[in-house]
Amino acid sequence: MPPKAKFTKEEITIAALDIVRTKGFDALTSRELGAQLGSSARPVFTVFESMDEVGQAVIDYAKKLYKQYVDKGLNEEHPFKGVGTQYILFSINEPKLFQLLFMTEKPQIPGLSGVLPLIDDSYEEILESIQNDYKVDKSLAEKLYHHLWLYTHGIAALCATGMCRFTGAEISSMITEVFTSILKNIKG
């Protein structure tokens, strides 16, 4: 009979997430996780088969947290701007999780058209919000999305790494100015 689990999968995942939030993904070790739980590492492995599995659980949980930000953005008056703003806020509020999800080297380097569907499970929803709100076809919506993601990712990376801070008004103004210029140029 296997040993009874001392901690649930969720308890272990939350403890692992707390380590990643404060120290980064590389700090997530079995020893560190055991210490976070106030135990040895052994109870972790009654629930998870490996630290890779724990790491994947953390990534999945971080994606769920990020999705809450996206959903909030999609419910704003201008959903695409809302998503861009929420992307930046996620980088400010959860810098280590942002770095894990959006600043980690990928095994294969996709082109620009492939990166967004790869890193954002809400890609199609966001694309549809652009088409609906700005009355553009899918091709123009993709172009807008690509340009604005590059721009907002730059702002978010500056925030997530502590290189720069912006106020909400500054973020709103920057996104609006760039979006308006690009939209005017591509609709031209």
Mean pLDDT, to the nearest integer, of 70-75?
97
The fraction of the chain above a pLDDT of 90, given in percent, is 80
165: pLDDT strictly greater than 80: yes
pLDDT digits 0-9 by tens, 111-158:
777 888 888 889 999 999 999 999 999 999 999 999 999 999 999 999
Cα–Cα distance, 103 to 160 (Å, whole number): 10
Q: Is 105 helix (H, G, I), strand (E, B) or coil?
A: coil
Residue 120 has a pLDDT of 87
Tokens of 15: 């403890």
Phi, psi at 116, each rounded to 5°: -65, -45
Residue 107 has a pLDDT of 79
Average pLDDT, the chain: 92
Residue 161 has a pLDDT of 96
Mean pLDDT, to the nearest integer, of 90-111?
90
Tokens of 49: 């088969």
Nearest to 99 by CA among 148, 55, 141, 161: 161
10 Å Cβ neighbour count for 26? Answer: 8
Residue 92 has a pLDDT of 97
Largest CA distance in the chain: 70
CB 24 within 8 A of CB 58: no
What is the Cα gyration radius of the chain? 19
Residue 3 has a pLDDT of 59
Q: What angle do CA 133, 134, 137 make, to 5 degrees?
A: 110
pLDDT digits 0-9 by tens, 47-71:
999 999 999 999 999 999 999 999 9
Say yes or no: domain 9-49 is CATH 1.10.1060.10: no
176: pLDDT strictly greater than 80: yes
10 Å Cβ neighbour count for 13? Answer: 19
Residue 18 has a pLDDT of 97
13: pLDDT strictly greater than 90: yes
pLDDT bracket for residue 2 (50, 70, 90): low
Nearest to 102 by CA among 112, 87, 89: 87
Tokens of 90: 């996620």
Residue 111 has a pLDDT of 78
Tokens of 149: 């993601």
Mean pLDDT, to the nearest integer, of 154-170?
96
Q: Which helix (H) or strand (E) holds 160?
A: helix 138-160
